[in-house]
Amino acid sequence: MNLRYDTLADRFAKSKINASLREAWLLLASEISERQQQVISTEQCKNKLKWLKRKWAEYNADLR
């Protein structure tokens, strides 16, 4: 399985300042918006990531 947004993963990993982290979220939201041809906000991206992490944790807990 490949990470779709691998180029942006480095930006998130290296972001130690809020401004650079905000910029990374903006880039991600704009790239997703462009691919989906629908406006996606940074808040929507953050909420989706939280939801996916929670679902992943639930899935892993069910496997144990």
pLDDT digits (tens, 9 = 90+) for 23-62: 999 999 999 999 899 999 999 999 999 999 999 999 999 8
Residue 1 has pLDDT above 50, yes or no: no
| Predicted TM-score (pTM) of this structure | 0.75
Decide if 12 contacts 23 (C-beta within 8 A). no
What sign does the CA torsion over 51, 45, 35, 19 have?
Answer: negative
Domain boundaries, the chain: 6-63
3-30: per-residue pLDDT in tens? 677 778 888 888 888 999 999 999 999 9
pLDDT at 2: 56
pLDDT at 3: 64
